[in-house]
């Protein structure tokens, strides 16, 4: 059996927002897209990500006046779509993250193309 690659199970597409997006808009995008993470974009590309966990923490902190930039995680972990799935899983475990961005090289600039999350792995195991 051929070794599985990240691209074999990643969720294609990455919903994104601007840094100054309200948390209501961020929550709406995550909910409507049924996604685990939203990419925060700036002038130079990816600034960070907002996860469901980030939103839940913000809920306790007067989230009504906060923006995506206020709660985003700026340490964004990424993998290439053509690496072995087991390598990506080990990176997620080593970093203690629930998801990683899948990026491809776009002429020297990394371009997000998808997401690999622990939920995708659980769904794969359930098949």
pLDDT digits (tens, 9 = 90+) for 60-110: 887 788 999 999 999 889 999 999 999 999 999 999 998 999 998 777 777
What pLDDT is attached to residue 36?
82
Fold type of domain 6-126: CBS-domain (3.10.580)
Task: Return d(Cα 39, Cα 14) in angstroms, integer.
Answer: 7
What is the chain's mean pLDDT, rounded? 90
- Mean pLDDT confidence for 16-26: 94
Dmax (CA) of the chain: 52
Task: Return d(Cα 17, Cα 80) in angstroms, integer.
Answer: 22
Nearest to 115 by CA among 66, 77, 58: 77
Question: Residue 3 corresponds to which tokens in the numbers above?
Answer: 């070794």
Count of alpha carbons within 13 Å of 7, Cβ hemisphere only? 8
What pLDDT is attached to residue 1?
65
Q: Whole-prediction pTM value?
A: 0.82
14 band by pLDDT with thresholds 50, 70 and 90: confident
């Amino acid at each position: 059996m051929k070794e599985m690659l990240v691209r074999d199970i990643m969720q294609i597409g990455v919903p994104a927002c601007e840094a100054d997006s309200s948390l209501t808009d961020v929550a709406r995008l995550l909910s409507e897209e049924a996604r685990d993470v939203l990419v925060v974009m700036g002038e130079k590309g990816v600034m960070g990500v907002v996860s469901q966990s980030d939103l839940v923490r913000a809920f306790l902190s007067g989230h009504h006046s906060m923006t995506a930039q206020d709660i985003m995680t700026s340490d964004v972990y990424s993998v290439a779509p053509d690496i072995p799935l087991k390598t990506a899983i080990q990176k997620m475990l080593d970093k203690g993250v629930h998801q990683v961005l899948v990026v491809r090289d776009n002429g020297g600039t990394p371009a997000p193309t998808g997401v690999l999350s622990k939920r995708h792995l659980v769904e794969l195991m359930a098949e």
